[in-house]
Amino acid sequence: MKILKKLAITASAIAMMSVGAQAAGEIKVGSAGGVTGPIAELVAAIVKGRQVAVDHVNSSGGLLGGDTMKLVIADSACDPKAAVDAGNKLVNVEQVVAIIGPSCSGATNGMVSSVTIPAGVTVLSDSATAPSISELKDNDTVFRASASDAYQGKAIADLVWKAGIKKVAVTYSNDDYNAGIANVFTTEYKALGGEITGNQAHEPNKASYRSELSTLNQGGPEALALFAYYGSSGITIIKNSLENGLFGKFYAADGMFDNSVIGQIGADNLKGNLWITQAASDTEDASYKAFAEAYKAAGGDPEAPYAAHGYDVAFLMALAIEKAGSADRSKISAALRAVAGPEGEVVRPGEWEKAKKLIAEGKDVNYEGAAGINDFDKNGDVTGLFSVNIVGDDGTWSRSMLK
């Protein structure tokens, strides 16, 4: 009995030591995102960006001693509960070394709070932008390569104010991302001198929002600031507004950016009436150009929202694993900061062989990504650039950078 007990203890110890271990020749990284849900089309472009980066790594020497980097897809569905299930699958079943994504803020907050922070697993999101993520007590395990909506909300407020609009109504979907950016917009717009005539949360996926819009139309607003996902409530709200003569001008954030907005509402109805801000890249930068060439070659549109960020998070995570020297979960957070900081030789998208050589020689690397510089602050956040999208004369989206 004593021998059996000792064997059981030994087996248990070995099992505990193997947490985060990978199959020989393969290192698994979780790829969480809203594969289904209100922004599935947008997420498809992000996931493609992640895979392009992984293909660069695997075709240029792989990780560490030649191991293959494998993305394990898990659908967080832009939903906190689904994200917890996805996180449990990735962390406890698939035994991934780290996770890139999720894509939505509510899903990210749900997954990291319930699963990854307690497990000590590092998460790097490409598109979760709610300000609340900055406030997490995460033991330095939660990062993002996209700017907080503390920046985007201000950018929208500035855009509305500079357009000469002094009174707006605000409606937002009742989730972490949309509520967070609506709050920032409201604060910043009022600080500029603007008046909020109405401020109302709404539930997603309703057949009609006519009653809510009728209430919001009181007080003489000149425009509607709409914070929603295009696939859950945003398109319906604009349709209801135009059909009933309630609002004619709309300002929105990147959760509303998709070709289906034009397709379902009509270019003529939106031209001169809709402005959508979006996280953007400097298209003249060498890093962006390198990414864009590879992404086009893979059959994608490099200007798709957060596609560049998707590439960056996968490449950054590969660099972190290489820097850590193993697939040890506990080493990823510090290694991620090391490869993204301002010190070291610049590495750009696609330069995996260069990065491996520098790391092998014990030299510091500084990844400058397709979406911009990734110098993480104390909260794991980065700053970023923003553009504004309008419907152009040709009936498609036209983009310009915000100053």
SS3 6: helix
Predicted pLDDT of residue 208: 97
- Strands (E) located in 161-293: 167-173, 195-202, 223-227, 250-252, 274-280
Q: Are 275 and 250 in contact (CB under 8 A)?
A: yes
Contacts of 265 (CB under 8 A, 6+ apart): 235, 238, 239, 242
Backbone angles phi, psi at 325, to 5 degrees: 80, 5
Cα of 187 vs its chain's centroid, Å: 23
Rounded-to-integer distance, Cα 231 and Cα 288, Å: 28
Predicted pLDDT of residue 117: 98
DSSP character for 156?
Answer: H
Which sign, positive or negative, has the C-alpha torsion 219, 220, 225, 226?
A: positive
Predicted pLDDT of residue 127: 96
pLDDT per residue of the chain (403 residues) written in tens, 0 to 9: 333 333 333 333 433 333 444 444 999 999 999 999 999 999 999 999 999 999 999 999 999 999 999 999 999 999 999 999 999 999 999 999 999 999 999 999 999 999 999 999 999 999 999 999 999 999 999 999 999 999 999 999 999 999 999 999 999 999 999 999 999 999 999 999 999 999 999 999 999 999 999 999 999 999 999 999 999 999 999 999 999 999 999 999 999 999 999 999 999 999 999 999 999 999 999 999 999 999 999 999 999 999 999 999 999 999 999 999 999 999 999 999 999 988 899 999 999 999 999 999 999 999 999 999 999 999 999 988 999 999 999 999 999 999 7
Domains along the chain with CATH numbers = 8-148+286-373 (3.40.50.2300), 150-281+385-401 (3.40.50.2300)
Predicted pLDDT of residue 3: 37
Question: CA of 358: how far to CAs of 138, 344, 354, in Å?
Answer: 30, 10, 6
Predicted pLDDT of residue 378: 96
Rounded-to-integer distance, Cα 108 and Cα 142, Å: 9
